[in-house]
Structure 1
Amino acid sequence: MSVAEDFDLLIVGGTVIDGTRRPRYEADVGIRGGRIVAIGNLRGQAAKTTLDASGKIVSPGFIDSHTHDDAAVLRLPSMDSKVSQGVTTVVTGNCGVSIAPLRADSPVPAPLNLLVPEKPQDGTSFQTFSDYVEALRAAPCAVNVAPMVGHTTLRARTMADLSRTATSAEISDMRELLTEALNAGALGISTGTAYPPAAAATTEEVIEVCRPLTGTGAVYATHMRNEADSSIESLEETFAIGKALDVKVVVSHHKLMREQNFGKSTITLPFIRAAMKCQCVALDCYPYNASSTMLHLAEDRLTGKIRIASSGTHPELVGRELGDIAEEWGVSRSEASKRLQPASAIYFSMDEHDVQRILAFDETMIGSDGLPTGENPHPRLWGTFPRVLGHYSRTLGLFSLETAVWKMTGLTAQNFGIEQRGILEVGNHADVVVFDPNTVLDRATYDNPKEPADGIDYVIVNGTVTWQQRAHLGARNGTVITRTKR
């Protein structure tokens, strides 16, 4: 193949896994103007920069389907935690929480306070969703940002009392805010009815607030009302909302919590499969048997091993177990939790067999669900994607490397309507990862959660090399990915 111009970047000698699940093949990849312009035998052709990928896999940049990076992409624009593991795009605004739209006097309840720790007027949130999108465009970070809007955020913006169901007037106000967000390009809306600020929202409230989704191609993603004893009922509610709105639903971080529910994925996954035959359903999962979220206050949510990940009042106790802290203070776990607020925690409450079964389910996307706060976050913030490639694909053999890459690239792009990304093909944006299939592995642990992965050689965002051999090169070439209007 010959080309009229030099390539900006030429990746030679690698094995392409293109994100479609097709078998790998040997090819060089030529990039110009931030796009892939040639794939094939390109040896000897001129390029400003040439990368040797001999013995390595060349794949699309990974798309993190479930993040809470809404504020991090502005406050921590190098995004080392994501770039270092091959992530080139983050989907934000999950679990019902986004940092826009909020007024200066909007309440910031947990878990929203994990994203917006200061007052909204301090520059961590925005009056309209379009203000947030414009801020992202004005200050690009190292990865692409694909934002959603949160239902809990709409409630906080609209309602003085979050402990009740919204009135018809409040629903109308939230619907207008959602319409504004969709017009600004939001990929969809998320809910977090498992959390106190949205727990009082009925199925009917959610449906009525989300009416503007219908016919737009936007998605409805949800941290379901219950991921433990009532998981089937929560799936039924999720599917009912999707049917009522005629939209795709995304079941966020599918899991089964608490020992009495261990093994229940043998029931939930066939239930999800059956729903997929009748409507558009997607799901994601992270590759760990411990979850992480706000530090709960209710005693019944504080059982088992709980490790403090961040604390606004007692940062010196980060990394300690809640039970030990409560015992030292001579108080209940609930009282200890109150004293540690605002805080996040890691909950060891899932069965590894369920995690593997959900990961291996064909249509499961990969999402980190990492919280970029505190000095001791869950290791999934830094380790999710190489852990899937190394531990679950290579070591355990849950699925082929082609399938693993598809779960974190092409499948995710398809489910969220992210166009011209997620697949290595001519004409697409040049988001590319070069990794060593024999050594790629997560190094982040619960004791040392901010360790970069092994085996991620190069990460290219929109045609610019951003990460190379365990070092960030300083590029901030990400863009805002907005939904194509129908």
Structure 2
Amino acid sequence: MELDLVIQNGTIIDGTGRQRYRADLGLKGGRIEAIAAGERLSAPNTIDATGLIVAPGFIDIHSHADWILPLPDHAEILAPLVLQGITTVVAGNCGFSPAPVTPETTGRIDAISKMLRDREFPYRWGTFSEFLAKLESDRLALNAAFIVGHGNLRALVLGGRSSAPTPEEMETLRRLVCESLQGGAFGFSAGLAYAPGVFAKNEELLALLHVVAEMGGIFTVHGRAYSWVSPFYSPMFFGAAHNLRSVRELIALARQAGVRLELSHQIFVGRRTWRTYPAVLKEIDRAREAGLDVAFDAFPYTVGNSTINVVFPEWFLDGFHQNISDPKALKRLKREIDLLQL
């Protein structure tokens, strides 16, 4: 067998759940051609992996790298991912994606994506398929799967308006979801604690999720609440913990639409929220046992980062630029945030 490269003496963990084992791994043309335990493979080029783990590339399933990959220096910026073994990213999460866009709406998309960028962004496409084609022609440093963002589509069609879409706007939103998935989007994401996703009612989401389900896409979602109490549910201090209400709400939406569901960064914010984890996990388990294709991702540490806007209630985000300068609005906001007691 002719091989280009052999990784020798490594301990293989293949991701299937099988126990780790010692073996040589042979590659040809950039692909795995042979795995040999108990015998030596040979090739013109070898890497001695004694004492090291050999594993498939890791997949970062919650990334915002779609705001970096179109940049000419993206390989340098994302090099730390590759050095940690990440070879694939899933981008377009939390309702934010760089496509689709039009020359008239780049300002709107810029406004909602400020927290994801640190420079002027080069929109060199219109549709989602054009976005993917441009990245393909530029050649990427990593493999990538892309999701179309609800916040992007809402800004595109409704501008900064907080009210529900008209029937005509709803049809435009549904058409854009369909076109984006046909154009190569892996699924549809929403960020229900960020503007403009925070303004979306369940009726709006359900109408779009039916399209996602019909297209075989997945729904990834940043829920309305990740803490036991939040500005997003009433009454504030009675009934189920707000993060549990959020999970129940999203599971119900997915069940109604018949869509696969990924609960993004299913975290428990604040020590008072930690005690809710058994109920939340039980709710997800029950949904899976009932036949819903639902999963979640989480980061393995007790800190995180986001925009300060994520703790602001819907009423404050609606007219944010006026409210941030209004003493009465700020006084009301402070009173509500003080009540959260995370």
Give the TM-score range, shorter chain: 0.7 to 0.9
Question: What is the deviation of 1:115?
Answer: 3.3
CA deviation map 1:375-405 (0-9, x unaligned): xxxxxxxxxxxxxxxxxxxxxxxxxxxxxxx
CA deviation map 1:405-435 (0-9, x unaligned): xxxxxxxxxxxxxxxxxxxxxxxxxxxxxxx
What amino acid is aligned across from residue 221 of structure 1 in structure 2?
T
Question: What is the deviation of 1:101?
Answer: 0.8
1:30 and 2:10 correspond: no
Tell me the C-alpha RMSD between the 2 structures: 2.7
Higher relative contact order (CA 8 A, sep 6+): 1
CA distance in structure 1 between the aligned counterparts of 2:67 and 2:313, rounded to whole angstroms: 31
User: Is the CA contact (8 Å cut-off) linking 1:68 and 1:93 kept in structure 2?
Assistant: yes
Question: What is the deviation of 1:125?
Answer: 6.3
Match of 1:63 among 59, 72, 78: 59
Counterpart for residue 73 of structure 1: 69
* SS of aligned partner of 2:101: coil
**Structure with a larger share of its residues in helix:** 2
Counterpart for residue 281 of structure 1: 294
CA distance in structure 2 between the aligned counterparts of 1:58 and 1:109, rounded to whole angstroms: 41
Counterpart for residue 235 of structure 2: none
Counterpart for residue 236 of structure 1: 248
CA distance in structure 2 between the aligned counterparts of 1:240 and 1:109, rounded to whole angstroms: 32
Counterpart for residue 174 of structure 1: 173
Counterpart for residue 237 of structure 2: none
CA deviation map 1:216-246 (0-9, x unaligned): 3321110011112211111112111211221
CA distance in structure 2 between the aligned counterparts of 1:13 and 1:66, rounded to whole angstroms: 33
Counterpart for residue 11 of structure 2: 15
Return closer, same or farther for 1:218/1:138 CA change in 2, 3 Å cut-off.
Answer: same
1:218 and 2:217 correspond: yes
Return closer, same or farther for 1:286/1:125 CA change in 2, 3 Å cut-off.
Answer: farther
CA distance in structure 1 between the aligned counterparts of 2:302 and 2:111, rounded to whole angstroms: 23
Instruction: Kindly name which structure, 1 or 2, has the bigger radius of gyration based on alpha carbons.
Output: 2
* SS of aligned partner of 1:293: coil
User: Is the CA contact (8 Å cut-off) linking 2:264 and 2:297 kept in structure 1?
Assistant: yes
Return closer, same or farther for 1:177/1:270 CA change in 2, 3 Å cut-off.
Answer: same
User: Is the CA contact (8 Å cut-off) linking 1:150 and 1:191 kept in structure 2?
Assistant: yes
CA distance in structure 2 between the aligned counterparts of 1:297 and 1:57, rounded to whole angstroms: 39
User: Is the CA contact (8 Å cut-off) linking 1:29 and 1:42 kept in structure 2?
Assistant: no
Counterpart for residue 140 of structure 2: 141
Return closer, same or farther for 1:55/1:268 CA change in 2, 3 Å cut-off.
Answer: same
Question: What is the deviation of 1:64?
Answer: 0.3
Q: Which moved more, 1:53-62 or 1:77-86?
A: 77-86
What amino acid is aligned across from residue 224 of structure 1 in structure 2?
G
Q: Which stretches in structure 2 are left out of the alignment for 5+ residues? A: 230-241, 315-326, 332-339
Counterpart for residue 102 of structure 1: 101
Question: What is the deviation of 1:185?
Answer: 1.7
TM-score by length of 2: 0.81
Counterpart for residue 160 of structure 1: 159
Counterpart for residue 404 of structure 1: none
Counterpart for residue 292 of structure 1: 305
CA distance in structure 2 between the aligned counterparts of 1:296 and 1:280, rounded to whole angstroms: 31
Question: What is the deviation of 1:299?
Answer: 6.3
Return closer, same or farther for 1:291/1:182 CA change in 2, 3 Å cut-off.
Answer: same
Q: Which stretches in structure 1 are left out of the alignment for 5+ residues? A: 302-330, 336-348, 352-486
CA deviation map 1:290-328 (0-9, x unaligned): 221123286679xxxxxxxxxxxxxxxxxxxxxxxxxxx
TM-score by length of 1: 0.58
Counterpart for residue 112 of structure 1: 113
